[in-house]
Structure 1
Amino acid sequence: MIIGLCGDGFPEVRRSLRAVLPGAEMVDIGVAEGHVPRVDVLVPLGASIDAELMDATRPRLIQQFGVGLQGVDRAAARTRGIPVAYVPGADTGNSIAVAELAILHLLTLLRRYPAAQRSIAERRVGQPSGSMLAGKTVTVVGTGAIGTAVLTRLAAFDAVTAAVGHRSYDDYPGLTELLPPDRYRPIGELAVALADSHILVVCCRLTEDTRGLIGAEEFASMPPGGWLINVGRGPIVDYRALLDALRSGHLAGAGLDVAWREPIDPADPLLRENVSITPHIGGVTEESYTAMATAFAANATKALAGQPLSHVAD
């Protein structure tokens, strides 16, 4: 089996795949390379997979190591009869890992962790003063596996939770035990939902409908001094609007595990504001990667054997 890895990010994917597919050949496919080899399975790791790359590599399967397929030209794959599959976060612990990181960013901001570290360095005791998560109203945008995992963890902190999704409340069975119907709103009422929200957590997928979903209007709808956490994808949030909201003080801070272009430039002006940032490691844990690698290997083996695949994208 020859596995083509597209992009130079997420090095732990390579280690995890070697553990479950020791006989497979791993080939790094650079965007600027001249010769591109034939492969059995093509994996998008931050790079785009377009028609030209599909024609050059002739894969039997395009398999994401996770859920995000926004870099794959699915129409081109469909035309060529190449199945495109993903690994659901709910089945692997990935959604829990991402939810835990969202909470980490939130607590880092509320308890002013960087300032606390400066106090240690300067031998100061009893400062800075932070804010409690308990009693804060938190609106979670995206009610899939990650969103519901975030809501579950927020409940343990006695936060007042609300959610925004693309479908009706009854279409999300997992929500019924997490919040009542009056704490849920469809995406068209996002600004209304944010009117009393101290914290906005973005967990939805990046699609053409969600690109730029969170912008100046949405930030203005929030009370002054709120916080944004984004563990979805960078372009869901309008960059300029976020920077302006932070500079004006309307937002007190932002926690980001994703950026608009990855890796983010360390000199990005956004990082001079009150921003907690991690390098897209929400799902990067030993536990979730082991489970995702196992699911990946199962689908790759099925593809080579001509057997029905699991979790093929529509």
Structure 2
Amino acid sequence: MKNNAVLQVGPLMPIVQDTIAGDYGAVRLPDSAQARDEFLREHGASFDIAVTSGKFGVGTELMRALPNLRAVINFGVGYDTTDAAQALERGITVSNTPDVLNDCVADTAIALYLDVLRGISSADRFVRRGDWLNKGNYPLATKASGKRVGILGLGRIGRVIARRLEAFDCGISYHSRHPVTEVSYRYAASPQELAAGCDVLIVAAAGGPDSEKLVDADTIAALGPKGYLINIARGSVVDEDALVSALLAGRLAGAGLDVFAEEPKVPEDLLALDNVVLLPHLGSGTHETRAAMAELTLANLRSFVDNGTVLTPVHA
């Protein structure tokens, strides 16, 4: 066991699993709590690299159980499931897979945007139920072009979303921790101010403790009964209870959600709402993008094994 320096945490793409097992002798952390605890007590000190995904990560307790950990190689751009603060304190390198998934996640945001405003999924169900034949025309929807769109988090993905929305003649504003000097979009000083000045709020902020419930009840209220919310970031960024309450009460026109607070659990109240589009966290879910993410994950691992650095560190 002492020769296996690489620990796999959670399931990964087959090509990643097979490569880290074949090339690096990676051992997978047991799934059951009891087996996991026993395994870590006996072998936790043997590992100096963990390979994981944004869904599982290396949380606080697991990181403490790996006293010789030197790197967390993360498949995915989000790393909020990894204790980044402890990693920084202990000098543990954390990598992710940025940029390679920007296009597909932005495409998903635009798909949700069009679907929610124009009622595409709802209209599809309308046809399949036979309602077009039996009830006549589908109700009028909302124009998607020319809307005022607020983007919460104008990072890599947020900027790609904004560029796509320019083609729809949308007026774009944003809120980030700091103004972005190289763009001409209007900057809002807070999420609430951003929501109050737009028709559609697209959430593209990074997850983690600093952004938990950044979109709170007041922000949702500022968006108003004619406003729409799109979330392709993390479920934790939005106060899910406040969102569900607003949708049920008609205080929000609709929502397009690719992420949820307790995935794969989705609030049951949302399942019957025709003005809400629900996706199973598939933002980067294309063959092309997942292959690129796998390649970058393995490149980060190879780089760290070879020279102690990664290609895409989360923090320097």
Q: Distance in 2 between matches of 1:118 and 1:54?
A: 46
Which aligned pairs between 1:1-314 and structure 2 lie closer than 5 A?
3-8=6-11, 13-17=12-16, 23-25=23-25, 27-29=27-29, 30=31, 32=33, 33=36, 34-36=38-40, 38-39=46-47, 40-54=49-63, 56-57=65-66, 58-88=68-98, 90=99, 92=100, 94-121=101-128, 122=130, 124=132, 126-170=137-181, 173=182, 175-176=183-184, 179=185, 183-186=186-189, 188=190, 190-265=191-266, 268-273=268-273, 274-314=275-315
Q: 5+ residue gaps in structure 1? A: none
Q: Distance in 2 between matches of 1:225 and 1:216?
A: 16
Per-residue CA deviation, residues 163-205 of structure 1 (Å, 9 max, x unaligned), is 11111242xx2x24xx3xxx2223x3x3233223111100011
Q: 1:54 to 1:252 in 2, by over 3 A?
A: same
**1:97/1:282 contact within 8 Å kept:** yes
Normalised to the residue count of structure 2, the TM-score between the two structures is: 0.83
Q: Distance in 2 between matches of 1:195 and 1:74?
A: 33
**2:81/2:208 contact within 8 Å kept:** no
Find the residue that maps to 2:86 and give its secondary structure.
helix
Shift of residue 2 of structure 1? 6.3
Matched letter for residue 39 of structure 2: H
**1:20/1:293 contact within 8 Å kept:** no
**1:225/1:249 contact within 8 Å kept:** no
**1:31/1:47 contact within 8 Å kept:** no
User: Aligned residues: percent identity?
Assistant: 30
Shift of residue 289 of structure 1? 1.7
Matched letter for residue 104 of structure 1: A
Normalised to the residue count of structure 1, the TM-score between the two structures is: 0.84
Q: Distance in 1 between matches of 2:192 and 2:104?
A: 28
Query: Superposition RMSD on alpha carbons, in Å?
Result: 2.5
How many residue pairs end up in the alignment? 296
Q: 5+ residue gaps in structure 2? A: none
Per-residue CA deviation, residues 256-291 of structure 1 (Å, 9 max, x unaligned), is 1111011124x6223333321111111122222222
Shift of residue 56 of structure 1? 4.4
